[in-house]
């Protein structure tokens, strides 16, 4: 549940309104199976709730992060919309093919054959995933957006939270801008063991995020157990082992910037927040990816 992240707002001075979204596990299950992330019915409910909030608040600008329904509700409410996105989803990227994600077909056919098949079917797969959003736009008298990349980045202002050098683009329109990486870590108390780590041993920071199989944490822990290092784990509350090897410390959450700064290497899921935190500290990254964007 998103409630587990409420601690992030403990010191917030701004007002908060709650809106509904699909349960995180349902989203992750759809991601893992290759199903549509949002149905037409779900997106329609999102728009209803968006509009109620936008009409009540009357903001000068709405900023969204993968709240796809805002590409319908914001223009209907006549509110400018800025979407924060990753540049690999840009319709103007120079990528020819997206990498093969971890899916049932990958395990069935193996990565070689599955990758060839995925590249052939990718346009049709992307069109299939874009259908609910394009139908929603048409239902509300708005023009279709086109491909899935257009759906993921549709806004009055599209802001890429990436380093431009990592993701070459061509013919980028003026309303598409690179913000650069957004560095953020929760301001939370450090665990008791933080100041007790052996200064003679290198530190490995492990953070596999809130997506991907939680059993990967168990596998990584097993691989690091007994090595001449200290591993510090941020589990996001998804894994609570009854015991851990003596060289491994765990906490539900850690300040990622401080953990990356202390580490000699970062092991993550390849997602951009953890990767950029590591690179900002000049620390190498091992990515154990499951999603296509990772």
Taking the CB of residue 35, how many other CB atoms lie within 10 A of it?
A: 12
Taking the CB of residue 143, how many other CB atoms lie within 10 A of it?
A: 8
The pair phi, psi for residue 121, each rounded to 5°, is -90, -5
Structure tokens belonging to residue 139 = 């239902």
> Is residue 147 within 8 Å of residue 91, measured between CB atoms?
yes
What are the residues whose beta carbons fall under 8 Å from the beta carbon of 182, sequence distance 6 or more? 84, 161, 273, 276
| pLDDT value, residue 213 | 66
> Is residue 168 within 8 Å of residue 93, measured between CB atoms?
yes
> Is residue 68 within 8 Å of residue 133, measured between CB atoms?
yes
> Is residue 88 within 8 Å of residue 95, measured between CB atoms?
yes
> Is residue 90 within 8 Å of residue 167, measured between CB atoms?
yes
| Angle 172-176-180 from CA coordinates, rounded to 5° | 105
Taking the CB of residue 196, how many other CB atoms lie within 10 A of it?
A: 8
Structure tokens belonging to residue 257 = 């910037």
Please name the helix (run of DSSP H) or strand (run of DSSP E) that holds residue 74, with its range, or none: helix 70-77
> 211 vs 114, 147, 208, 269, CA distance in Å?
22, 25, 7, 8
Structure tokens belonging to residue 214 = 């939680």
All domains in the chain, ordered by first residue: 2-178 (3.40.50), 192-287 (3.40.50.2000)
Q: What is the pLDDT along the chain (294 residues), one digit of tens a residue?
A: 467 777 778 778 888 898 888 877 777 777 767 778 889 999 999 999 999 999 999 999 999 999 999 999 999 999 999 999 999 999 999 987 788 777 777 888 888 898 888 888 888 988 999 999 999 999 999 999 989 999 999 999 999 999 999 999 999 999 999 999 998 888 888 999 999 999 999 999 999 887 666 778 889 999 999 899 999 999 888 778 778 899 999 999 999 999 999 999 999 988 899 999 999 999 999 999 877 777
């Amino acid at each position: 549940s998103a409630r587990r992240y409420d601690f992030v707002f403990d010191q917030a001075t701004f007002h908060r309104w709650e809106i509904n979204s699909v349960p995180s596990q349902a989203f992750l299950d759809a991601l893992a199976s290759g199903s549509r992330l949002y149905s037409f019915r779900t997106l329609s409910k999102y728009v209803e709730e968006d509009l109620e909030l936008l009409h009540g608040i009357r903001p000068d600008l709405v900023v969204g992060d993968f709240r796809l329904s805002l590409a319908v509700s914001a223009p209907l409410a006549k509110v400018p919309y800025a979407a924060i996105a990753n540049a690999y989803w840009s319709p103007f990227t120079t990528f020819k093919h997206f990498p093969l994600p971890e899916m049932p077909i990958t395990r069935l056919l193996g990565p070689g054959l599955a990758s060839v098949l995925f590249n052939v079917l990718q346009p049709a797969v992307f069109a299939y995933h874009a259908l609910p959003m394009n139908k929603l736009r048409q239902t509300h008298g708005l023009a279709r957006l086109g491909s899935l990349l257009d759906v993921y980045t549709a806004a009055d202002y599209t802001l890429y939270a990436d380093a431009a050098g990592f993701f070459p683009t061509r013919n980028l329109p003026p309303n598409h801008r690179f913000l650069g990486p957004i560095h953020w870590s929760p301001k939370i108390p450090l665990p008791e063991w933080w100041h007790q780590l052996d200064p003679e041993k290198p530190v490995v920071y492990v953070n596999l995020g809130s997506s991907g199989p939680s059993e990967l944490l168990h596998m990584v822990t097993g691989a690091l157990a007994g090595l001449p290092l200290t591993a510090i784990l941020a589990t996001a509350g998804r894994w609570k082992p009854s015991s851990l090897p003596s060289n491994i410390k765990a906490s539900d959450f850690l300040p990622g910037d401080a953990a990356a700064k202390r580490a000699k290497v970062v092991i993550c899921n390849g997602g951009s927040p953890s990767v950029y935190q590591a690179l900002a500290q000049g620390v190498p990254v091992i990515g154990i990816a499951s999603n296509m964007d990772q």
